[in-house]
């Protein structure tokens, strides 16, 4: 394992976060704070509890997960797309680092940035809503697992994209709607039975449900199923990246 190569890629990507704090950290934190103000304080004060949890506190896991998914995908996809766009990807591929080490550097940095952002949002939420974390270890574990999984997914998107507009198609047109329909602002048990069944085909339901369980011990689906679905998607992304480097898909041309 070439740890110097991994460290070089990792540090380069992390330095980009320090150079763009306004875009990388401040912007998503402010956007999420607006959700806390509108849905947590304004609307939440007029709504009843869900599963004996105040509405403002109930939506916190979903809002953190929304930011986590979007930032994981964006950081990883942009990180690998820019070397492709500028042509420096060939220097990376010809360097004495393996494909595993390249992925570790880019995905590790993207996941680290997303976890830091998620923790900042959690700390900021305390200013607007009072909440508790019943299982801190599992909360942090689920946070890291989700960040790594969707950073791998973002890495695939960055390889697939051949233009800046394609970097935004999947996060904006697919991930965001699935997140809003995945129980961010409600429990799927509140839906009619037919829509509860349809919601179970939304993979984001399992992410939000598992993350909410770590906070309050309540979930729409069993925590074991949530972890299993997340791991399944993780392995699928790993298989996709293995295929990309094996075939050179959009890397050698």
Which residues are within 8 A (CB) of 221 and not within 5 positions of it... i.e. 6 or more apart? Answer: 200, 205, 206, 209, 210
With 0-12 / 13-18 / 19 or more C-beta atoms within 10 angstroms meaning exposed / middle / buried, residue 21 is: exposed
Which residues are within 8 A (CB) of 186 and not within 5 positions of it... i.e. 6 or more apart? Answer: 50
Q: Which phi and psi angles does 50 have, rounded to 5°?
A: -120, 120
What does the alpha-carbon distance between residue 6 and residue 148 come to, in Å, rounded to a whole number? Answer: 16
Residue 46 DSSP code = G
Q: What's the distance, CA 17 to chain centroid?
A: 16
Q: What's the distance, CA 205 to chain centroid?
A: 13
pLDDT at 182: 87
Q: Which phi and psi angles does 53 have, rounded to 5°?
A: -120, 130
Token reading at 50:
């869900």
Closest to 67 measured CA to CA, from 105, 126, 26: 26
Whole-model pTM: value is: 0.91
pLDDT at 228: 94
pLDDT at 253: 60
Token reading at 94:
């010809």
3-class state of residue 50 by DSSP: strand
Alpha-carbon distances, residue 50 vs 23, 87, 246 (angstroms): 34, 52, 48
Helix count and strand count (H, E) for the chain:
13, 0
Q: Is 186 left (phi over 0), alpha (psi -120 to 50) or beta?
A: beta
What does the alpha-carbon distance between residue 183 and residue 168 come to, in Å, rounded to a whole number? Answer: 23
Per-10-residue mean pLDDT, the chain, length 253: 84 84 80 79 70 86 91 91 84 83 93 93 87 92 94 94 83 86 86 88 92 93 92 94 88 68
């Amino acid at each position: 394992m070439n740890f110097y190569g991994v460290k070089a890629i990792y540090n380069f990507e992390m330095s980009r976060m320090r150079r763009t704090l306004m875009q990388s950290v401040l912007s998503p934190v402010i956007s999420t704070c607006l959700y806390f103000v509108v849905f947590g304080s304004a609307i939440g004060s007029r709504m009843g509890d869900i599963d004996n949890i105040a509405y403002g506190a109930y939506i916190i896991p979903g809002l953190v997960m929304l930011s986590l998914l979007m930032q994981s995908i964006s950081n990883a996809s942009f990180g690998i797309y820019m070397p492709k766009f500028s042509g420096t990807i060939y220097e990376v591929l010809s360097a004495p680092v393996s494909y595993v080490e390249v992925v570790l550097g880019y995905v590790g940095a993207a996941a680290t940035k997303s976890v830091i952002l998620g923790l900042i949002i959690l700390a900021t939420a305390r200013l607007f809503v009072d909440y508790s974390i019943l299982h801190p270890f599992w909360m942090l574990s689920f946070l890291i697992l989700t960040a790594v999984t969707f950073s791998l997914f973002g890495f695939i998107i960055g390889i697939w994209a051949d233009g800046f507009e394609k970097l935004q198609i999947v996060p904006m047109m697919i991930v965001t709607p699935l997140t809003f329909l995945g129980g961010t602002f409600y429990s799927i048990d509140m839906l009619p039975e037919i829509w509860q069944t349809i919601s179970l085909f939304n993979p984001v339901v399992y992410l939000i449900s598992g993350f909410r369980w770590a906070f309050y011990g309540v979930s729409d689906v069993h925590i074991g199923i949530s972890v299993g679905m997340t791991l399944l998607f993780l392995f699928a992304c790993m298989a996709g990246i293995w295929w990309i480097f094996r075939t050179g898909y959009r890397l050698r041309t």
